[in-house]
Amino acid sequence: MKLRPYQEEARVKVQREWERGVNKTLLVLPTGCGKTIVFSKIIEDRVKKGDRVLILAHRSELLEQASDKLKKSTGLNTALEKADSTSKDTWFRVVVGSVQTLQREKRLNQFDKDHFDTIVIDEAHHCISNSYQNVLNHFDKAKVLGVTATPDRGDMKNLGTYFESLAYEYKIVDAIKEGYLSKIQSLTIPLNLDLSGVSTQNGDFKASDVSNALDPYLEQIADEMVKHCKDRKTVVFLPLVATSQKFRDILNSKGFKAAEVNGESKDRAQVLEDFDKDKYNVLCNSMLLTEGWDCPSVDCVIVLRPTKVRALYSQMVGRGTRLHPGKENLLLLDFLWHVEKHELCRPGHLIAKNEEIAKKITELSEKEVGNAVDLEEIEVKAADEVIQDREASLAKQLAEQRRKKGKLVDPLQFEMSIADEDLANYVPSFLSEQAPPSEAQIETLEKMGINASAIDNSGKASLLIDRVIKRREMGFATPKQIRLLESRGFRKVGNWSFEDANKMITRIAANGWRLPRGMVAKEYKPKSMMN
């Protein structure tokens, strides 16, 4: 099986982390981007090296999915470590294991501590829990790969207490741009749902409180669905089973063909199959379908179980992001939740690089109440406005940087010039990133033209080096070009091509290092950028 370019890059970078001695690493891929295929090929690589591999997950669906994909993509068979099934005395090099089973002391002690050479954790955002840590601490010599959907900064900080690095991250906005995921439209509905009295439990909104707060609005929400979802295949996430069943009945009374599934549904498999075959056009559930279930034809998702956890929100919306013949986009109905004490995940959090941009996307979306907006397009606008706002607040500091003598560009000036949000908002998540820059990093950065004395951690240094290399490959202006031209009044030289910057420097040099007569540097743009 031939991997997509980003999948192959992920495979290579994970192996590279292990080769350089980083035993616990993360792979971040959005829902629908083939994470199971990627780690299956990584497992194949490890088995070829003679490793015994454990795939660890907390749900039966995930174990079954991993086993099936591994067989189909690599030909490797698996043994099962769950309940009465055991992998002991089998010849299989790969074991799929339930964390609930393996965490038990009696079960763990059946295995030597070095029994597994490699462990893959599916849905790795769960791995900080005691059950996972019991297993991981037992097999503490193994190489570990954690696979998860896009986490937020809080998730990364938590994961950074166990994992040592982020091997590879593929962002959802890149997946959409490159045609691997469906475009997403968000429709803000002017229906104010009051969550101000809802309490929190385990870091998120308490489901029973949400259900009580939601109940008075169910009829109105169904009416809005009649307007916007009649011709779409819709999945609705609700806080409790009782709420989910009640909403199913309301939808059916309004002409929908709605079904409901929950953990106790004896006919769950049949209902899901019927939904896939379009016997139903709406599927209601109480957080059952967040993991391990795929139905690519879903083209509308409604989150009526508000959450503060971006990974969970991404999983819910991810039920509708896969491509499917005839599917033009995924529609998200975004209701206006009134919250006082807590932050709430909204559509902007799916693609925003940070909380600041997410808030700006929400602000811009709410100005378009009643009109569907393309998230990819509005993210570009939001990011630009955030950069403008930040540049305005840092105007004095940036002016000072530009006036400084010297050939090296300050990191802040470089970040603003190239408009890189990842750099501007970087916070180290892993212990290895928090250390001061190494001598090799400092030397490399200064050769590249960046003042390394203003960088206080190795993670930021590594990210800067990566950016400069990628920009060089793409033919953009170098840090030294940015420094020289912006010291003479030009702006946003980071957006210029290397050739455009080189031509301007040559022109200024030929004029005795003076600007050509009549040129206003701060207003100048190269002809190649005027289209």
The answer to whether residue 462 sits within a structural domain is: yes
Q: Are residues 312 and 334 in the same domain?
A: yes
In 20-150, which residue ranges form alpha helices assigned H by DSSP?
35-48, 60-74, 99-102, 105-108, 130-138
- Residue 156's pLDDT is 65
The answer to whether residue 343 sits within a structural domain is: yes
Q: Are residues 219 and 349 in the same domain?
A: yes
pLDDT at residue 437 tops 80: yes
Confidence band for 338, pLDDT divided at 50, 70 and 90 = confident
The answer to whether residue 335 sits within a structural domain is: yes
Q: What share of the chain is helix, strand, coil (3-state, %, to 5)?
A: 50, 15, 35
Tokens of 467: 């950016």
- Half-sphere exposure of residue 325: CA atoms within 13 angstroms, side-chain side: 0
Please state the rounded mean pLDDT for residues 487-504. 94
Nearest in space to 346 (alpha carbons), one of 378, 322, 323: 378
| Between residues 139 and 194, the one the model is more confident about | 139
The answer to whether residue 164 sits within a structural domain is: yes
The answer to whether residue 175 sits within a structural domain is: no
Distance CA 126, CA 159 (A): 9
pLDDT at residue 154 tops 60: no
Q: Are residues 251 and 315 in the same domain?
A: yes
Percent of the chain surpassing pLDDT 70: 98
The answer to whether residue 178 sits within a structural domain is: no
Q: Are residues 28 and 100 in the same domain?
A: yes
The answer to whether residue 131 sits within a structural domain is: yes
* Strand 372-374 with 184-194, pairing: antiparallel
pLDDT at residue 155 tops 70: no
Q: Are residues 379 and 416 in the same domain?
A: no
- Residue 529's pLDDT is 87
pLDDT at residue 341 tops 70: no
Please state the rounded mean pLDDT for residues 445-458. 93
Confidence band for 314, pLDDT divided at 50, 70 and 90 = confident
| Between residues 61 and 483, the one the model is more confident about | 483
pTM above 0.85, yes or no: no
Total domain count for the chain? 3
For CA atoms 73, 171, 438, 417, the dihedral sign is positive
Confidence band for 342, pLDDT divided at 50, 70 and 90 = low
- Half-sphere exposure of residue 91: CA atoms within 13 angstroms, side-chain side: 1
Structural contact between residues 310 and 152, judged by C-beta atoms closer than 8 angstroms: yes
Confidence band for 317, pLDDT divided at 50, 70 and 90 = very high
What is the chain's Cα-based Rg?
26
Structural contact between residues 169 and 162, judged by C-beta atoms closer than 8 angstroms: no
Q: What is the CATH number of the domain that holds 273?
A: 3.40.50.300
Final residue in a domain of this structure, among 118, 140, 170:
170
- Residue 340's pLDDT is 60
Q: Are residues 378 and 449 in the same domain?
A: no
| Strand arrangement of the beta sheet that strand 24-28 belongs to | 78-81, 94-98, 53-57, 118-122, 143-148, 24-28, 165-169
- Residue 152's pLDDT is 58
**3-class DSSP assignment, residue 395:** helix
In 327-457, which residue ranges form alpha helices assigned H by DSSP?
348-351, 355-366, 375-393, 395-403, 411-418, 421-424, 431-434, 439-448
Nearest in space to 504 (alpha carbons), one of 451, 474, 491, 413: 491
- Residue 252's pLDDT is 97
Domain coverage including residue 74: 5-170
pLDDT at residue 393 tops 60: yes
- Residue 291's pLDDT is 74
| Between residues 360 and 151, the one the model is more confident about | 360
Q: Are residues 378 and 507 in the same domain?
A: no
Q: Are residues 344 and 469 in the same domain?
A: no
Q: Are residues 245 and 150 in the same domain?
A: no
Which of 107-116, 239-248, 336-345 shows the lowest per-residue confidence on average (mean pLDDT)? 336-345
DSSP string covering 169-227: E--HHHHHHTTSS--EEEEEEEEEEE-TT--EETTEE-HHHHHHHHGGGHHHHHHHHHH
Q: Are residues 195 and 127 in the same domain?
A: no
Q: Are residues 63 and 188 in the same domain?
A: no
Please state the rounded mean pLDDT for residues 158-174. 89
Please state the rounded mean pLDDT for residues 450-458. 92
The residue type found at 462 is S
Q: Are residues 118 and 257 in the same domain?
A: no
pLDDT at residue 54 tops 90: yes
